[in-house]
């Protein structure tokens, strides 16, 4: 049986390098931003467009 942690926030992030937006769900906004940054080599400039507490 797989049990997952409850999702607490949904965050939409715009990558300012490519102008693409990404939507993540996670435990906190910090977790979502860290995951976004982990997808690229180096730090990417970004902007949080929308955050929603679930």
- Using pLDDT thresholds of 50, 70 and 90, give the confidence band for residue 6: confident
20-42 pLDDT tens trace: 999 999 999 999 999 999 999 98
The pTM score is: 0.80
CB count within 10 Å of CB 15 equals 16
- The alpha carbon of 37 is separated from its chain's Cα centroid by a whole number of angstroms, namely 9
SS3 42: coil
- Using pLDDT thresholds of 50, 70 and 90, give the confidence band for residue 3: low
């Amino acid at each position: 049986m797989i049990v997952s942690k409850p999702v607490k926030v949904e965050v939409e992030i715009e990558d300012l390098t490519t102008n693409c937006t990404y939507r993540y769900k996670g435990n906190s906004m910090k977790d979502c931003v860290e995951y976004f940054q982990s997808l690229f080599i180096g730090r990417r400039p970004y902007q949080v467009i929308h955050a929603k507490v679930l």
